[in-house]
Amino acid sequence: MEDNKPLNHQYNNAAEIIKTAILQSQYEASKDVNRIQLGLYFGIGKFLSEKTRNAKWGTEALHTISDKLKADLPGLRGFSATSLKKMRIFYDNWKSIIYNSSVATDEFNECHNELTKITDINNNIIIINDIKSFPMESFFKVPFTHHILVIGMVKAIDARYYYIHRTAEEHLSVEQLKKIINENDFENRATIPNNFPQTISNSSLARKAVMMFKDEYFLDFINVEEIGERNRNDIDERVVEKQIIENIKKFIMTFGKDFAFVGNQYRLEIYGENFFPDLLFFNRDLNALVVFELKTGDFKSIYLAQLMTYLRILDDKIRKPHENPSIGIVLCRNANKDFVKYVIQDYDKPMGVATFDTLSEMPEKLQNALPDIEELKKLL
């Protein structure tokens, strides 16, 4: 039995097992780099956790194994004692969510079976089916360094899911990820009042739709001087629409990626009646048309009825067979969220209500926190 062998011999065996797993994973890495790497690290973490957490091995084990790996594989990077410890932490934090085939979870003592355990984890990671909110696709897109950062800085499991998904979707750097965690984006996030979960049958698609839209947008490109001193409730929506069209790229970037502009005042016709929704987009990620109706005053429930008409015609006349049902967003200056949630529940088309503000109307503290545009231009 291995447990009866001297510790140095066990450490050398462990280094040999890990070295072989590394070499096999490097061979497979060209097919799926990040998934293979995470699989390897998860497997190594499991192997080391089982050996070190039950006091079989002392504190010097990781240093001894790391030194042996460096000696056997000159030039090898990323397998210091600190890195091996991070792999163990990675496994310990995700072992309740991620697991592998039954072969890999069996307890083996022989060296070749230990190797099978690591490589089998590497090749057969799957997700527990009842963890419906687990962001599986995002998980495997996020680099190991980002995973360790999330584990170290975030304790709540829902918050971890959120930051992993954000990292995968927005290709965040380590510094960007650290920044949004420090700013507590998870707790501060706000989604628009909507009926997406009730009107979109596919739960995954409904979650995507919820995450796609925020409850407030700063449209800092709108020229407030052109709007003038008139009461904001009397402002013609065409002024806002005109400036959005002139800055369509900025508008799309404000809402997120994967939006394609279809048109403004897009003509819809049914039974001789004509309608002209303000802005029409197609979102590739949602695979759906998204219509925005602009309102420069406070939210009114009649706006949802107007939007419902647009969505009905879009789905009947414009939407293609392979596309998902169209989504509608009312974009207004102010909205009572509780009232919106109350009145929106009776509509059977996916809709939400968001508000917008302009740079000059932000709180002074928030304005001061924004980078100076001219300074950014100089840097660029």
The three-state (H, E, C) secondary structure of 119-188, written as one string = HHHHHCCEECCCCCCCCHHHHCCCCHHHHHHHHHHCCCHHHHHHHHHHHHHHCCCHHHHHHHHHCCHHHH
**pLDDT value at position 5?**
65
- pTM > 0.85: no
Confidence of residue 88 (pLDDT cuts 50, 70, 90): very high
Q: Which residue has better confidence, 202 or 227?
A: 202
Residues 6+ apart with CB under 8 A from 96: none
**Model pLDDT for residues 252-300, shown as the tens digit of each residue:** 666 666 788 888 888 999 999 999 998 898 988 889 999 988 887 889 9
**pLDDT value at position 236?**
60
Question: Does 127 score more than 60 pLDDT?
Answer: no
Contact present, 194 and 172 (Cβ < 8 Å) = no
Of the segments 35-49, 100-114, 310-324, 330-344, which one has the largest average pLDDT value?
310-324
Q: Architecture of 196-367 per CATH?
A: 3-Layer(aba) Sandwich (3.40)
Of the segments 122-126, 152-156, 261-265, which one has the largest average pLDDT value?
152-156
**Model pLDDT for residues 8-27, shown as the tens digit of each residue:** 888 888 888 888 777 767 65
The amino acid at residue 304 is: L
When pLDDT is averaged across residues 316-326 and rounded to a whole number, the result is 94
Question: Does 304 score more than 60 pLDDT?
Answer: yes
Instruction: Give me the percent of the chain exceeding a pLDDT of 90.
Output: 27
